[in-house]
Structure 1
């Protein structure tokens, strides 16, 4: 961010200013993600706002919509899905009347997650169907439009479908969708940790309590190993909301949680 700011200060009136502001937007978006991983919500929001402002100054509506959509996904994760749905409407206004199919697929997927988070299962399923249609349309494109680097394909949509099914209480469909998603591409380490907590939730709903706590324990290990406060907090949230029987697996996780958190504070 500092480097881009210095370059922009020297080239603000040049023909390269728009490209530099676009780079600043992406750098700010990544900084927002890093702070979200640190569980620093306030700083993350600040960087997301900077990312959106920089994209608009660059006059790149698709990049602005991407950053607003990323902020919407962040707000869903931060338990404010109502705000997220408002942001998604704003992202669509940025895109205009003929958005690329990839952008439509991604935004509908995030909307499905937001609708599920406010317990509107019918609307969530409608958004998933719209995302599916957009993914099929995007397959006819030669390459995804920047700032997407990789195609938003059916495997990635399956990951969103799994998250939606967890939130609307359909654990069997969630587990099947997770399997479909993971069979096509292996997520990055921290993303895998987040997915483990989601699969654990689905398993707990199905009554597979020991397997659920094995998954969340593995996720907790990744969180502590890679210093991801976001994964650690997600594992703690899973434990707080768990209402199943007090098995040996639960007791073992509780003891590990207490020990680790005491060590981190000392």
Structure 2
């Protein structure tokens, strides 16, 4: 081989090796966690009654419950959140800010809502400017409400027995929730609602809804898509309000916990915290 050709060949090989080395040394393209994520699933302390199975809360403004909530808030505050996200419509942020400012300065009592009893309380204690509304609860691209009405699909397809079994399973879980709250503390209730067993049972309830209807009339699956879409929109709102280094505390209805935790873990953006580590019952082991 002529010398010129050998030099050209060696140059091409060297270039190829350098390119391969650079590619091997290139940083990964996947996002790396740059914030912490703590989800605290709660029961609805003000009894709105909007769920299929509702825990009936006694008066959380009673002295006993206020002491218990203060204990929970103190335990969660050990997480040192930099931002607290709550289940309130994004459009209500200005109203939320006004309520927080008044409550934090002692000019307005906290309402029974968990966004205030926990969110406001912890934010004020941590000297945060307020809490952040991240809720979304719309139909999105689904224009026909009948397409997600799984109760009608149950009637159309004779799935009443399946529904009865599913409701019995849900009632058993809800009855245990009620006993936990009636016989224990607010901390006991939150430990239960954030336990792996409760989260798994909740996720399976949504799986069972997805089976209502048929392949040609997939109303249950449509409803689950709507539920997943709502949680994705909520999660996106959380991400948009998160900056690198944040320690994000999300206080929400416990039923959202399975999806919001999974989205946080799957996103690669967050270091997902074990909720029970930050609740009163786990304080002694930290």
Q: Hey, which of these two has a bigger chunk of helix by percent?
A: 1
Which structure exhibits the higher relative contact order, with contacts defined as CA atoms closer than 8 Å and separated by 6 or more residues? 2
TM-score (normalizing by structure 2): 0.21
Q: Hey, which of these two has a bigger chunk of strand by percent?
A: 2
TM-score (normalizing by structure 1): 0.22
Say which one has the larger Rg. Answer: 2
